[in-house]
Amino acid sequence: MTDETQVKKFSSEVRKNTDCIDAVINNAGRASMNHFLLTPGETADKVMKLNYMGAYYCSRAFINLLKKSDHARIVNFSTVAVPLSLEGEIAYVASKAALEAFSKVLAKELAQFKITVNCIGPTPVKTDLIVKVPQDKLDGLLSMQAIKRFGEFIDVTNVIDFYLKPESDFITGQIIYLGGVIK
């Protein structure tokens, strides 16, 4: 959800059914695979709006419900494209880098409410997001990882489960990149 009005409407519906939530997982993602000189501003704006502003709006809309939880969590989805500064993905990398900075600051600001905020940076997982990515680009990305394979859903859910555990209440402002990213 990238429109603040839509998010507010959705959170209002949720509040009708519950007084408390334990987690917000911001996993929306839109990519743009173009060189900077070939990326229209409108495309960059759409990528930023979904990848960053969507998480911003969702996190903000559910804060009051999260504050009522004994172990509230916000988990944001970044990408290994950020530490690798992948060429040809400037809008995507910039939007996810903004999300990482947002997560680190938000972790500090929400710690007083016992809400943790962390990121996961998956390696490519065979989803619709990478369907149109040329194989040579995917091979190049996998070659930059210590573990040279595509991520699996279990790899991603394992990290999310770790962040969501009540025992993880002392972990905030962190980013776990999958695949053993080699810079």
pLDDT for 2 equals: 57
Domain ranges of the chain: 4-177
Instruction: Give 10-residue mean pLDDT values along the chain (183 residues).
Output: 82 93 92 82 92 96 96 96 90 96 98 98 87 86 91 96 97 95 65
Predicted pLDDT of residue 28: 86
Give pLDDT, residue 1: 52
pLDDT of residue 34: 79
- In 3D space, the residue among 122, 121, 169 whose CA is nearest the CA of residue 23 turns out to be 169
pLDDT computed for residue 115 by the predictor: 98
**Closest to 115 (Cα-Cα) out of 162, 164, 79:** 164
pTM: 0.92
Give domain 4-177's CATH number out of 1.10.260.40, 3.30.1330.10, 3.40.50.720, 3.20.10.10. 3.40.50.720
3-class secondary-structure state, position 118: strand
pLDDT at 31: 79
Whole-number Å distance between alpha carbons of 60 and 7: 9
Element (H, E) at 176: strand 175-177
